[in-house]
Amino acid sequence: MAKSKQTARRKSPTVSTARKPALRVVPDTGGETVDVGALKRMMGYALKRAQMAVFEDFIRTLSDTGLKPAQYSVLLMLSQSPGLTQSAVAQALGIQRANFVPLISELERRGWAMRAQSATDRRSHALHLTDKGKALLQRVKALQQAHEDRVIATIGAGNADIMFELLARLAKGIGR
Amino acid sequence: MAKSKQTARRKSPTVSTARKPALRVVPDTGGETVDVGALKRMMGYALKRAQMAVFEDFIRTLSDTGLKPAQYSVLLMLSQSPGLTQSAVAQALGIQRANFVPLISELERRGWAMRAQSATDRRSHALHLTDKGKALLQRVKALQQAHEDRVIATIGAGNADIMFELLARLAKGIGR
DNA sequence: TATTGTTATACTCTATAACTATA
DNA sequence: TATAGTTATAGAGTATAACAATA
């Protein structure tokens, strides 16, 4: 098997709300119409599925640049706060500083960001965007906004504020 | 160090271009906790951070069993719909059937689930919980409920329904 | 010819320890 | 001693191709 790419519920790249083609054969329980039941009322599961769907659209939207969510978030932070150290950016984004090394290296290799020498601490790097990186970000921001607009439209514009508020509360921590 | 090893930050496989960025001296902003700024208003980022926080609490809550979210979701599905095939469960949960093999094997190895012979299709397996698995799930469900209660309390009980509704819309897909 | 379960593989993400050069 | 960046490595998670048995 495997060759049947039908298992990936891909559809056309249009913005419409067309229904999926769906190859209906339904062999016993093997059909794709199995309901996840109680899982739908579990916040962790609901968040995971929603997050994956949103990331999928984001990645597709920026596909011509190959920029992934984490990379975009770094470029955006450097745009807003030039001169931050690797540790500062990594910590703000919840990335281990060891894992941040190849990430920033890639952005530097692509000519979008650079490590500058810190004026006060020779151990650290002051990160900033290159002119090329600034230009890229300008262009990509428009793409990202289009993506964000689609997301907001999906939940309804009036629900965005409450959504961000509730997600922020969760992100601050559950329990403890 | 930072600057002296600058030219050698590539991985071993490639000799690569020993390009040295010529570090410029820039004022250092790397102080305390940094704000992520505009990222807070990006749905993908907000969802990711919230999802990670919720999963962290979930995993800690079930830490004595070692059950991870994906494993729990499988046990729950088998409890609700006994006899499903591997493909059906994997498809419902958004897991590649190839990756589902080690997952169900582990649950079987631990004595919680089992692959039974399908009555209608000798290619497929009818999945079921064992008595031990049912007993475990009963106990773990209580723990999960405590976790879920904390999550709901974090966002406010009155916001749970709208939250699930909006997350479900996103999970169904953005754009296209 | 198509599908189920499976194996193998690869690539990304993430987590940890340890090293170096600074502080 | 402590910290910033780095290296190496191991573990998950995920994606794809291919194969045997079966439909």
A55-75: average pLDDT: 98
pLDDT digits (tens, 9 = 90+) for B115-154: 999 999 999 999 999 999 999 999 999 999 999 999 999 9
A72-90: average pLDDT: 98
User: Is the pTM higher than 0.75?
Assistant: yes
Q: Which of B35, B85, B93 is nearest residue A29 as measured by Cβ atoms?
A: B85
B23 CB within 8 Å of a chain A CB = yes
Q: Using an 8 Å Cβ cutoff, are B34 and A81 in contact?
A: yes
Alpha carbon of A140 to those of A53, B38, B62, B164: distances in Å?
20, 14, 41, 30
Dihedral (C-alpha) A6, A8, A11, A15: value to the nearest 10 degrees? 180
pLDDT digits (tens, 9 = 90+) for B60-104: 999 999 999 999 999 999 999 999 999 999 999 999 999 999 999
Question: What is the rounded CA–CA span in Å between residue B114 and residue B108?
Answer: 5
- What is the b/e burial string over B90-112, where b = at least 16 CB atoms within 10 angstroms of the residue's CB? bbbbebebeebeebbeebbebeb
Cα torsion B142, B148, B153, B154: sign: positive
B2 CB within 8 Å of a chain A CB = yes
**Does residue A105 reach within 7 angstroms of strand C, measured from its CB?**
no
A151 CB within 8 Å of a chain B CB = yes
Residues of B in contact with A47 (CB under 8 A): 47, 50-51, 54, 167
How much is the pLDDT for A21?
33
Q: Which of A47, A80, A114 is nearest residue B54 as measured by Cβ atoms?
A: A47
DSSP code for A20: P
pLDDT digits (tens, 9 = 90+) for A20-47: 333 223 334 434 479 999 999 999 999 9
Dihedral (C-alpha) A128, A134, A137, A142: value to the nearest 10 degrees? 140
